[in-house]
Structure 1
Amino acid sequence: MNNVPPMPLEEAQARLLALVEPLPMEHVDVEGAIGRYLAEAVQARRTHPSADLSAMDGYAVTDANLSGPWRVVGESAAGHPFSGTVGPGEAVRISTGAVLPAGAKAVILQEDVACANQQVTLTGEAPEPFHKHIRACGLDFCQGDEVMAAGIRIGPAQAALAIAAGHKHLPVSRRPRVAVIDSGDELVRDPETCQPHQIPASNGAMLMTMAHALPVEAERVGPVIDTTEALIGAFETVPMADVIVTSGGASVGDHDLVRPALEAWGATLDFWRVGIKPGKPILVASRACGTGRQLIVGLPGNPVSSFVTGYHFLLPLLRKLLGARDPLPLRFPARLGVPLRAHGGRREFLRASWDGHRVVPQATQDSGALAALAASNVLIDRPAFAPAAAEGEEVLVYLLQNGGIA
């Protein structure tokens, strides 16, 4: 397999996502479903609004063509509708969100009338058309309408929609169980005790944080020393994990033992090496576990490589398990704030800052440069053999912050 050329990114992502289906469905209360994905389409159990409502404060009348006067015969407030019928020459004081009285055809804004001694006279403009300030029954949706499709993520607006549609609970896939294992003799868990020949084990915390951007149950194991036995032992401590993600040991060095440890543990390698920079030595494997299967995603040990491959593989995998309709991250165009040189033979993701108008790569693109990564809010997608690009040219970028990471 060492002689097989690295796989293109999209092919590798497709192969990874083809290995899994959304996890079993459960019903949770709407507030508990925030951040999760709908396992089934949701139909409205009620019509919304369920009656004609006023969109403004004013007066409900039968005919807005006349200048009045109209005699005020009552009031309709939100939650307290007028019980009678509005007739010719009559008006009902009405507030925003209140039910339109029977017989009313229009709402005249309160700032367009003068009211004295229970008499209302038009002083401004009548509504055109008549129903301009009326929210018709069923304007938003009707009972039986599909209001949300399967696979969409539930946020504040979707939660409000579900409740307005009459739902107290929503169908979602259960939370994936994720185990994060970082390995390497040089790693120490406590950064305050790190010696000069050691490195703080930052990847585990980084990947845990990345996973927790989605509604998952995650635990961290390690750091684990560089022996096959230690790695197998770490795998065996997480028998219920749906996904095991490792960091480090996925390459071809003498101390890169994740592949042989996985094979000795009984896992089957699906693919290894993807044609991207940073992150080439990523691997994906699977192993039968009880009635299901565990997926193992082996990420490189260099922190930026681990982050980029986590972004492109771990997060889409977790979204697919959660039932996302579109699990892959989205790109959008941005204009360069500086020129870029012609690119080499591997697709590269440049860490960069985008201010909403122009995008500028970080000066340092080393795969171990965490400061440059932390200062970035986008990844520039630089194709293999891309020609030089001038300042102002468009490039495609992936959003990392303001919600893009999840």
Structure 2
Amino acid sequence: QDAFFKKGMNIRKQGNDLRKNEIAVYCFTKIDAKTIAVLASCGKEKVKVCSKLKTAILATGDELIPINEKPLDDKLRVSNIYSLYAAMKEMNHMVINLGFVNDDKKIITEKIKAALSLNIDLLITTGGVSVGKYDFLKEVFEEQGVKEKFWKVNIKPGKPIYFGSYEKDERRILVFGLPGNPVSSLVNFYVFIKPAIEFLFKQNEWKIVTATLQNDLKKKDGKRHYLRGILFEENGEWKVTADFSQSSGNLVEMSRANCLIEIEEDKLNPKKGERVKCILI
């Protein structure tokens, strides 16, 4: 019976999981249940953490109505502020819903001025950043002291995105002006805002996989396209299908997608069987 036992069996020696002076938890590690266990075992009752971002969201557009109202032919329920609010909360940040306003420059100016006076880190707007008669936001941003970093990108959907920075009294607010189309604003969030936030917190959660396309796609221009897709694994291989509407106003198909298929500028009409990049959303 003694043969089954050896000296030192099932005994964990002190320090066998971590050597002296070895780092247990690195800076900018996202604290979860596993990390808390390590911190507790190291006797760390308190640790310094990064503050959550404070974000304000504002929608603009004469066509917008509250979600509890029935829309007439020329009206739309305001969905953007709720989708972007939820997207920020999924990243565990704080959000202020500033509601929505009509395409009235005076009212928009008052709203933006008030928003920039808040104790926030990020301001996200939707609508009013293109070149239409009632697209006032870019002009208002400049008048309120926001320094433009870029405006418009060669992608579809979501081309008329605006990005700028507002600095006053040692405060900096990053400003993103997104297009009003519901799908376009969410694509802009996943392609630009989410990676920017992860960069600020030194995270790397932008997951990209390569998958085999299950249907032909139409792409005739020189823009970079982000198509909604359904990614799945079959026999150990990633596959993706996008055999449904890609309209920038189709929220139903967007809600069913679990990835964005990235088709680069010089690629035209990808065919079934080709390998494509997919951004998990």
Asked if Structure 1 and Structure 2 have the same fold, meaning a TM-score greater than 0.5 normalized by the shorter chain, the answer is yes
Task: Note the C-alpha offset of 1:346.
Answer: 0.6
In structure 2, relative to structure 1, the CA distance for the partners of 1:140 and 1:297 (3 Å cut) is same
Q: Secondary structure at the match of 2:262?
A: strand
Structure 1 residues without counterparts, runs of 5 or longer:
1-66, 71-90, 92-103, 108-132, 401-406
Percent identity (aligned): 28
Residue number in structure 2 paired with 1:201: 78
1:380 aligns with 2:261: yes
1:324 aligns with 2:202: yes
Residue number in structure 1 paired with 2:183: 304
Which of 188, 201, 216 pairs up with 2:93? 216
Letter in 2 for 1:181: L
1:105 aligns with 2:32: no
Task: Note the C-alpha offset of 1:389.
Answer: 4.1
CA distance in structure 2 between the partners assigned to 1:377 and 1:69 by the alignment: 55
1:237 aligns with 2:110: no
C-alpha contact (below 8 Å) 1:229/1:261 kept by paired residues: no
C-alpha contact (below 8 Å) 1:187/1:223 kept by paired residues: yes
In structure 2, relative to structure 1, the CA distance for the partners of 1:342 and 1:219 (3 Å cut) is closer
CA distance in structure 1 between the partners assigned to 2:183 and 2:218 by the alignment: 21
1:282 aligns with 2:161: yes
Task: Note the C-alpha offset of 1:335.
Answer: 1.7
TM-score (norm 1): 0.63
In structure 2, relative to structure 1, the CA distance for the partners of 1:134 and 1:309 (3 Å cut) is same
In structure 2, relative to structure 1, the CA distance for the partners of 1:347 and 1:169 (3 Å cut) is same
CA distance in structure 2 between the partners assigned to 1:398 and 1:159 by the alignment: 29
CA distance in structure 2 between the partners assigned to 1:381 and 1:287 by the alignment: 31
CA distance in structure 2 between the partners assigned to 1:69 and 1:385 by the alignment: 69
Matches within 5 A, 1:45-56: none
* Bigger Rg, structure 1 or 2: 1
C-alpha contact (below 8 Å) 1:153/1:324 kept by paired residues: no
Q: Secondary structure at the match of 1:145?
A: coil
In structure 2, relative to structure 1, the CA distance for the partners of 1:287 and 1:342 (3 Å cut) is closer
In structure 2, relative to structure 1, the CA distance for the partners of 1:393 and 1:166 (3 Å cut) is farther
Task: Note the C-alpha offset of 1:380.
Answer: 0.6
CA distance in structure 2 between the partners assigned to 1:162 and 1:347 by the alignment: 44
Task: Note the C-alpha offset of 1:362.
Answer: 4.0
Q: Secondary structure at the match of 1:307?
A: helix
Residue number in structure 2 paired with 1:313: 192
Q: Secondary structure at the match of 1:173?
A: coil
Q: Secondary structure at the match of 2:139?
A: helix
In structure 2, relative to structure 1, the CA distance for the partners of 1:68 and 1:261 (3 Å cut) is closer
Q: Secondary structure at the match of 1:212?
A: helix
Matches within 5 A, 1:62-141: 67-68=1-2, 105-107=7-9, 133-141=10-18
What is the root-mean-square deviation in Å for CA atoms of aligned residues?
Answer: 2.2
The structure with higher relative contact order (CA 8 Å, sep 6+) is 1
In structure 2, relative to structure 1, the CA distance for the partners of 1:226 and 1:388 (3 Å cut) is closer
Residue number in structure 2 paired with 1:368: 249
In structure 2, relative to structure 1, the CA distance for the partners of 1:145 and 1:248 (3 Å cut) is same
Task: Note the C-alpha offset of 1:149.
Answer: 2.0
In structure 2, relative to structure 1, the CA distance for the partners of 1:371 and 1:292 (3 Å cut) is same
In structure 2, relative to structure 1, the CA distance for the partners of 1:381 and 1:229 (3 Å cut) is same
Q: Deviation digits for residues 288-320 of structure 1, max 9, x if unmatched? A: 232212211000111111001011222223334
CA distance in structure 1 between the partners assigned to 2:142 and 2:268 by the alignment: 41
1:191 aligns with 2:68: yes
In structure 2, relative to structure 1, the CA distance for the partners of 1:69 and 1:205 (3 Å cut) is closer
Which of 264, 278, 281 pairs up with 1:397? 278
Which of 348, 352, 355 pairs up with 2:232? 355
Q: Deviation digits for residues 42-94 of structure 1, max 9, x if unmatched? A: xxxxxxxxxxxxxxxxxxxxxxxxx5489xxxxxxxxxxxxxxxxxxxx8xxx
Letter in 2 for 1:209: A
Residue number in structure 2 paired with 1:149: 26
Task: Note the C-alpha offset of 1:392.
Answer: 3.5
Residue number in structure 2 paired with 1:250: 129
Q: Secondary structure at the match of 1:192?
A: coil
C-alpha contact (below 8 Å) 1:343/1:385 kept by paired residues: no
Q: Deviation digits for residues 169-198 of structure 1, max 9, x if unmatched? A: 222211211100000011112333433321
CA distance in structure 2 between the partners assigned to 1:134 and 1:383 by the alignment: 56
Larger deviation, residues 213-222 vs 370-379: 213-222
CA distance in structure 2 between the partners assigned to 1:173 and 1:137 by the alignment: 32
CA distance in structure 1 between the partners assigned to 2:166 and 2:25 by the alignment: 35
C-alpha contact (below 8 Å) 2:221/2:268 kept by paired residues: no
Task: Note the C-alpha offset of 1:347.
Answer: 0.6
CA distance in structure 2 between the partners assigned to 1:386 and 1:224 by the alignment: 39
